[in-house]
Structure 1
């Protein structure tokens, strides 16, 4: 029997749900970095462009994307061949090396600043439950499933699901200007089943799991379920999510469980690789260098042909006795 359209549609929907389930994560509250499918990303972030190993190949690749550098490199290599160039061997390679060195120093200085900023961010501290007690941890050591305490005017170290807050209405206010540019404060609501957990001792004993969607770059979208023993499963949405890059405002403190860390946070998933940019001058220079290179090739071919014709013609003038001398081509 041939499959009907409805059965095909049902299979498609089933496969989508199965694929979504395989990608979903189960965050074990108050546990180490454990969930069913795979390990989460480290909360250590890195925005630096180079390492000691990758600096040279990446730098050279970017520099020789400029046709002017390629052109002068070819000229410098040709000048190293004896009796080929009327100029010195170092008239091109020394200026080219100087320009490349200055560019390398500039790139190193800028990347060192990025590494310093990364280190400052990764070494910020926050209160975390570790092995049943409250401790102070660096941001880079935070794991999925950790419960953290963030105070007023502090930034959130990772993407958190809000558990409870100091506000009597079980809400908190966040500033998202670093994330979406909006200066007005936004409100977040504690889940009903955890809003009463304002005593740190209660949070140490908290168990259960958060079934969350896979990491996504959609900052206004989140779906999850808070599951606790002997309690109903409570749905979670964007109003229970505290994003990295935002700050707590007008609220003394909040408690939250980490669901996404490091480069899996929505903040970093929205980072795009900086495209290679060329100024108008660089674009014009590249075109001129290509034209100049083609003209050089044509001139070389023309001079070679003329030199061949000239010497072939001289062979008929026997009385000049040119065979006794070595003709030199210029």
Structure 2
């Protein structure tokens, strides 16, 4: 069939054809803005008759600023955005327009061309390095399932719906949904240090109730993934996968993000759901095409001042010309004063203004920016040559990706840091625990009561049994039986310390076995027990707790075990007296700077368990914007009427050199804020021990307030104290999260900044 004439005309104009294709692609994508539909193996169902799905973003990585086509206009725009460059360009244009300029325009044009050329070459070189890095990443070979077998393809050729194979210690080339792992539990561990800075392992599993898939079955696998559109939230994902008419909810625990690295499992296979610029790591990069440093912005202000000064000079000379001009225009030897201009005073004085402008133009030196660009370029090399910034483990020096912000490093006024893993080693040491109004310690391989002359304790009574079961079952630790050193692999250092402590005293977590469901094996003082892991209620920062619903396969009893921060556990427990005693123990542990967690449980019936399961499945399948709230509401409905078990205390030691570093930063005038999830007393003790607080600091507390008047009164008092005693004392300010939320709610941020 012959094409319409309009299509034939478009085909003859390549750039117009490409432009229209992009427009059509954008219009097609708008239909898929709310949800994303992905077909496994990029294969449509046999009975599919709808419109062909929209092609999503390619997996090409692009961090460069320029291309060969747009380099010249884009670079010129960025350079003439600087006031000085635009000023010199305007001056040169005006001199060319003058009939008899006071100086040769080429004397100004050539230096400007040198400056523009030098800057363009420097920025082209930096962008060339970015292109080179992008090309190296895009050409990395990955294993992709095509035509029934895994083949080696370039990373940039991955498409949404492709099944990708990743081996141990390799980074994920795009955002994947886990389908198959060679780990015996069908799970894998990843590190996300490149995404959020956390070095601990994180567990990833296939979707809940998802059928076990063999490698040979992947080529014939057909299904549909429905998920939310790309977003920058690293910790949120909702969707479902439909296979053979069955729908399985998918959450963030099944997503393998680009930039994270596979650990422990020999290999895993997943379906590409977000690629290229739509991956979460790229959406979080917020790459700004052109950056201006603080010094450059300040310099622009000074240039404006000199321009005002220049205008003053020009106006002064113009007034002098008006008053005395007639004395000189009569002389024939004064060029530029031809008679034809005498009758038109406006033209005459306009020429006079432009001439004076050109004469005084050197008030702003033309070498200003070339000097700064040279200093910046050399400065980046000093970063690379600095041996103190060299990483021996990775054999990698420091690298400056953008020389335009070198000087901003010296302008840092505030430093925000978290505590765990940054100031501390993130290696928890189990210290003590509190159960049934008694505090226990672990000494010389035995559990002993405090103040009992170190007599051994019977660990098999009911209260202690529930305590050890909660530690052994309520976690996300995995067992790697092939590990040469440590068999336990944990995403949380607290959980690792719990299972290691239990192992030392004889309660050994032996790992999970995947059958029709997950069965957790626990050896309780020589007796092996099996607990079916029915549901996991994941930790979140709002609830500040985690729960599991487990069933003992021997007795058939079903339990809900919960652990979390004491302020989230105590309100959902029944016994007030036990809560008061446990709170005292926690306060005592906090005085030593130890991290504390509270534990609770309850036993439920089979009917309750089925009811909870139906609520959870319904919440997980919700793809609306209120997915988080729906899941959290169901979690909170389950976590009620618990019986308090006790609490734990672990120590997280400071890293070497932390104290001296904080002291040096404070001496440099940098204000340091430490963010921590620990309770107030623990945070205060850690701040004292790491020298975050100096001995002579006066502590001001903005904590435990939820009333507008009280918060405003406290802020006013603190502001007065700081103003009156600023020259005599230094201050430390302690704010808790609850009070801070009210500060934001009542829009008191400005008052807080004043303090």
How does the TM-score come out when normalised to structure 2?
0.38
Q: For 1:39, which of 21, 42, 55 is the aligned residue?
A: 55
Report what 1:223 is aligned to.
Answer: 238
Higher normalized contact order (CA 8 Å, seq sep 6+, divided by chain length): 1
> What CA distance in whole angstroms lies between the structure 1 residues aligned with 2:44 and 2:124?
35
Report what 1:89 is aligned to.
Answer: 105
Q: For the Cα contact (< 8 Å) 2:63–2:134, is it kept in 1?
A: yes
Q: Is 1:102 the counterpart of 2:118 in the alignment?
A: yes
Match of 2:55, SS state, is coil
Q: Is 1:175 the counterpart of 2:206 in the alignment?
A: no
Alpha-carbon offset, residue 296 of structure 1: 2.7
Alpha-carbon offset, residue 108 of structure 1: 0.7
> What CA distance in whole angstroms lies between the structure 2 residues aligned with 1:290 and 1:160?
52
Q: For the Cα contact (< 8 Å) 2:174–2:258, is it kept in 1?
A: yes
Are residues 179 and 323 of structure 1, via their aligned partners in 2, closer, same or farther at CA, if it must alter by over 3 Å?
A: closer
> What CA distance in whole angstroms lies between the structure 1 residues aligned with 2:334 and 2:100?
15
> What CA distance in whole angstroms lies between the structure 2 residues aligned with 1:24 and 1:294?
55
Match of 2:285, SS state, is coil
The worse-fitting range, judged by mean Cα deviation, of 124-133 and 298-307 is 298-307
> What CA distance in whole angstroms lies between the structure 2 residues aligned with 1:81 and 1:258?
61
Report what 1:9 is aligned to.
Answer: none
Match of 2:107, SS state, is coil
1:30-53 CA distance string (max 9 Å, x none): 125999753211111211100112
Q: Is 1:204 the counterpart of 2:215 in the alignment?
A: no
Report what 1:214 is aligned to.
Answer: 229
Q: For the Cα contact (< 8 Å) 1:166–1:254, is it kept in 2?
A: yes
How does the TM-score come out when normalised to structure 1?
0.82
> What CA distance in whole angstroms lies between the structure 1 residues aligned with 2:237 and 2:115?
50
Q: For the Cα contact (< 8 Å) 1:164–1:191, is it kept in 2?
A: no
Alpha-carbon offset, residue 20 of structure 1: 11
Report what 2:395 is aligned to.
Answer: none
Alpha-carbon offset, residue 227 of structure 1: 0.7
Match of 2:270, SS state, is strand
Are residues 55 and 65 of structure 1, via their aligned partners in 2, closer, same or farther at CA, if it must alter by over 3 Å?
A: same
Q: For 1:248, which of 262, 265, 270 is the aligned residue?
A: 262
1:77-131 CA distance string (max 9 Å, x none): 3343556443333322222211111111111111111111111111111111112
Are residues 301 and 284 of structure 1, via their aligned partners in 2, closer, same or farther at CA, if it must alter by over 3 Å?
A: same
The unaligned stretches of length 5 or more in structure 1 are: 1-18, 316-321
Q: For 1:300, which of 304, 308, 314 is the aligned residue?
A: 314
**What is the correspondence of 1:131-280 to structure 2 with a 5 Å cutoff?**
131-191=147-207, 194=210, 196-198=212-214, 200-230=215-245, 232-274=246-288, 276-280=291-295
> What CA distance in whole angstroms lies between the structure 2 residues aligned with 1:81 and 1:306?
23
Q: For 2:66, which of 50, 57, 61 is the aligned residue?
A: 50
Match of 2:105, SS state, is coil
Q: Aligned-residue CA RMSD in angstroms? A: 2.7
Q: For 1:24, which of 23, 30, 35 is the aligned residue?
A: 35
Report what 1:286 is aligned to.
Answer: 300
Match of 1:187, SS state, is strand
1:132-157 CA distance string (max 9 Å, x none): 22221111111111111111011111
> What CA distance in whole angstroms lies between the structure 2 residues aligned with 1:54 and 1:42?
21
